[in-house]
């Protein structure tokens, strides 16, 4: 039976976890944010971009790698969110949007959350060891970034930067899984992805800015305040330029650049329609970044498959 009192604030009331999952499984699924899949998309899309970018010219991306990275993104995003909830367990109960999360609401104990974190990390490791040695070592190195982010809001107004480092690591790992090495293109893409994450997560953070200020945690939403739109212009410009440079380095066709116009227009639309004092609008614009990421993916794939002219 649907329990409206247990639906977390930024999850859809029609989310599949609350509607269909067995009640005993729901707290663990919510620790992994399976009721809010947008974060998995935002972690996965830079992986897909990089895999597609690393494919030989004239060929599509490796579908097996797409599947492995999709599973990996699902469980590692879940692990990161579980770690975040463990770290924030003394804050989440004081914030309206997060007070129904499984730990502060008492649906799971700290021990159960730690055990669930371990299960997800194990699955992620089993996925990682399917790749080449270079990609495995690169993936292991990312764990430091995953561990730092949940604590960043305690010591800097730039936790979104640390989120960007972790969430866009797939731009490096996807290329490494294909090529067995790194190059200029994935590094430039990684840089652009970090700027993208700072932008979209600043929008997201505006939902919590009053509560964050009261409990003493930091964010770029609090730092930027009324100047947020100007900052977003800068970060999103870096995002588009970096993606264009990455495409140019590997010699993508003109179709890539044509579709990237659509991606740029999407980011302009976000900035123009943003109302930092409207939580519902902030959440909708944040979620719309999945569409931006899919446009970029289509641009890269078509840029690879079509002949340059």
pLDDT tens digits for range 99-150: 778 888 888 898 999 999 999 999 999 999 999 999 999 999 988 888 888 7
Q: Classify residue 55: in a domain, yes or no.
A: yes
Output the tens digit of pLDDT for each of the chain's 309 residues: 556 556 766 666 677 787 777 888 888 888 888 888 899 999 999 999 999 999 999 999 999 999 999 999 999 999 988 988 888 787 767 766 777 788 888 888 989 999 999 999 999 999 999 999 999 999 999 888 888 887 888 889 899 999 999 999 999 999 999 999 999 999 999 999 999 999 999 999 998 777 777 677 788 999 999 999 999 999 999 999 999 999 999 999 999 999 999 999 999 999 999 999 998 899 999 999 999 999 999 999 999 987 665
| Enclosing domain of residue 106 | 25-305
pLDDT of residue 31: 87
Whether the CB-CB separation of 132 and 177 falls below 8 Å is answered with yes
**Is residue 157 classed exposed, middle or buried when 0-12, 13-18 and 19+ CB atoms within 10 A define those classes?**
middle
pLDDT in tens, 19-35: 777 888 888 888 888 88
Task: Assign residue 253 the CATH number of its domain.
Answer: 1.10.357.140
C-alpha to C-alpha distances, 230 to 157, 244, 260, 275, nearest whole angstrom: 17, 21, 21, 13
20 found inside a domain: no
Model pLDDT, residue 102: 84
**Is 97 inside any structural domain?**
yes
Predicted local confidence at residue 150, as pLDDT: 77
> Is 176 part of any domain?
yes
Question: What dihedral do alpha carbons 28, 32, 33, 37 form, nearest 10°?
Answer: -130
Q: Is 18 part of a structural domain of the chain?
A: no
Contacts 24+ apart (CB under 8 A), 224-230: 226/276, 228/202, 228/203, 228/274, 228/276, 229/271, 229/274
Domain count of the fold of the chain: 1
4 in a structural domain: no
pTM of the predicted protein model: 0.89
User: Is residue 151 within 8 Å of 202, Cβ to Cβ?
Assistant: no
From the number of C-beta atoms within 10 Å of its C-beta (0-12, 13-18, 19+), residue 55 rates as buried
């Amino acid at each position: 039976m649907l329990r409206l009192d247990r639906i977390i604030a930024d999850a859809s009331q029609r989310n599949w976890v609350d509607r269909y999952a067995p009640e005993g499984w729901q707290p663990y699924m919510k620790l992994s944010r399976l009721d809010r899949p947008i974060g998995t998309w935002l972690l996965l899309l830079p992986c897909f971009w990089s895999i597609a970018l690393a494919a030989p010219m004239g060929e599509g991306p490796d579908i097996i790698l797409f599947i492995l990275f999709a599973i990996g993104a699902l469980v590692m995003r879940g692990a990161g969110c579980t770690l975040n909830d463990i770290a924030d367990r003394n804050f989440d109960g004081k914030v309206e949007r997060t007070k129904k999360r499984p730990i502060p609401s008492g649906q799971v104990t700290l021990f159960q959350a730690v055990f669930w974190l371990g299960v997800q990390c194990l699955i992620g490791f089993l996925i990682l060891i399917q790749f080449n040695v270079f990609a495995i070592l690169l993936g292991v190195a990312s764990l430091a970034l995953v561990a730092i982010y949940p604590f960043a809001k305690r010591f800097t107004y730039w936790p979104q930067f640390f989120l960007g480092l972790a969430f866009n690591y797939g731009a490096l790992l996807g290329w490494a899984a294909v090529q067995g090495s790194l190059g200029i293109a994935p590094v430039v893409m990684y840089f652009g992805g970090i700027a993208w994450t700072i932008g979209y997560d600043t929008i997201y953070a505006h939902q919590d800015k009053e509560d964050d200020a009261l409990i003493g945690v930091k964010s770029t939403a609090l730092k930027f305040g009324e100047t947020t739109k100007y900052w977003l212009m800068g970060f999103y410009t870096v995002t588009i330029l970096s993606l264009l440079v990455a495409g140019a380095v590997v010699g993508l066709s003109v179709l890539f650049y044509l579709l990237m116009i659509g991606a740029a227009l999407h980011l302009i639309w976000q900035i123009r329609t943003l109302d930092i004092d409207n939580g519902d609008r902030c959440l909708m614009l944040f979620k719309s970044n999945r569409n931006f990421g899919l446009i970029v993916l289509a641009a890269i794939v078509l840029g690879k498959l079509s002949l340059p002219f």
